[in-house]
Structure 1
Amino acid sequence: MLNTITKALIYESQGLKDDALEVYKNILKNDPSNKDALLAIYRLSGVRKSKPIKNEQMKEFFINLNTPEEVNEFKRWLLRL
């Protein structure tokens, strides 16, 4: 069976975190530029939970997002983490 984001999301929705992580990792092996898989691995592995938000300016920016351009800027910032 193919490893897809959809398959991983289904595992997540069923509470199968380890299975979802394995699918995301396999996706990254085949496509290292897959940002959805990379972000999901960070989210599921708790990387962000163990690190406090260090950039208070971006935290405030996120809280006050108003335009699509600001949303896109915030997404770009997240991808650089």
Structure 2
Amino acid sequence: MAKFKYRMQNILDVKTKLETQAKNEYAVANQKYLSEQEKLSQLVLRRVDYEENLKKLLSDKINVVKISNARKDVNTMKTIIR
């Protein structure tokens, strides 16, 4: 019995390579996305810490310089997150 030979095997091989390449590109993009999500969550946590620090400074004895710096920190984190 003769071995079956698919006439368009070379096209099938190219399609398979393209599919594999697309899967690899997706994996790289997904990893980058997850990394950026982690950075974002860390920035949000830092912003929360800065906001808590600002609230504490506002409730304690008023020190204008520290309050001003704390507000700048919070605003900077908001800008970075955006």
Instruction: With the length of structure 1 as denominator, give the TM-score of the two structures.
Output: 0.31
Instruction: With the length of structure 2 as denominator, give the TM-score of the two structures.
Output: 0.31
Q: Which has the higher contact order (CA 8 A, sep 6+)?
A: 2
Larger radius of gyration: 2
